[in-house]
Amino acid sequence: GAVVSQHPSRVICKSGTSVKIECRSLDFQATTMFWYRQFPKQSLMLMATSNEGSKATYEQGVEKDKFLINHASLTLSTLTVTSAHPEDSSFYICSASSLELAGGQGDEQFFGPGTRLTVL
């Protein structure tokens, strides 16, 4: 149980285009979904936290108009990188948490397999 999928797993696009990444919780309803970014040889950096039906909370330094997050249901969140540039090339990983699964603690996050974005 507690499986999270991401699509696509890899995307290569031209500079200036927009890219949408989907994150789905397959066998549970996610109370909260998180979006991370990881550059080579660096750790995961949280970009934003989103709860179903409400606006995402972005971390300091993350442009909300560039990284659009939609959390339309308890099993789906999307991240759209708008007008992507080469410096946006990174590994984007989503995770999901559920109060049901964590015994009420809600700490544990279940990670998707990640999306590798390359902007040419």
Partner 1 sequence: RKEVEQDPGPFNVPEGATVAFNCTYSNSASQSFFWYRQDCRKEPKLLMSVYSSGNEDGRFTAQLNRASQYISLLIRDSKLSDSATYLCVASAYNQGGKLIFGQGTELSVKP
> Footprint of partner 1 on this chain (CB under 8 A)?
32, 34, 42-46, 49, 57, 91, 93, 95, 97, 105-109, 111-114, 116
Q: Which two tokens stand for residue 96?
A: 């999901």
CB 98 within 8 A of CB 81: no
Q: Tell me the closest approach of the beta carbon of residue 16 to partner 1, in angstroms.
A: 26
Judged by beta carbon, residue 82 or residue 116, the one nearer partner 1 is: 116
Q: Tell me the closest approach of the beta carbon of residue 34 to partner 1, in angstroms.
A: 7
Judged by beta carbon, residue 57 or residue 82, the one nearer partner 1 is: 57
Which backbone phi and psi does 2 adopt, to 5 degrees? Answer: 60, 55
Q: Tell me the closest approach of the beta carbon of residue 58 to partner 1, in angstroms.
A: 12
Q: Tell me the closest approach of the beta carbon of residue 6 to partner 1, in angstroms.
A: 8
Judged by beta carbon, residue 46 or residue 68, the one nearer partner 1 is: 46
Judged by beta carbon, residue 2 or residue 82, the one nearer partner 1 is: 2
For 98, residues 6+ apart whose C-beta sits below 8 A from its C-beta are: 2, 25, 28, 29, 30, 31, 106
- Alpha-carbon distance of 120 to 114, in angstroms, equals 19
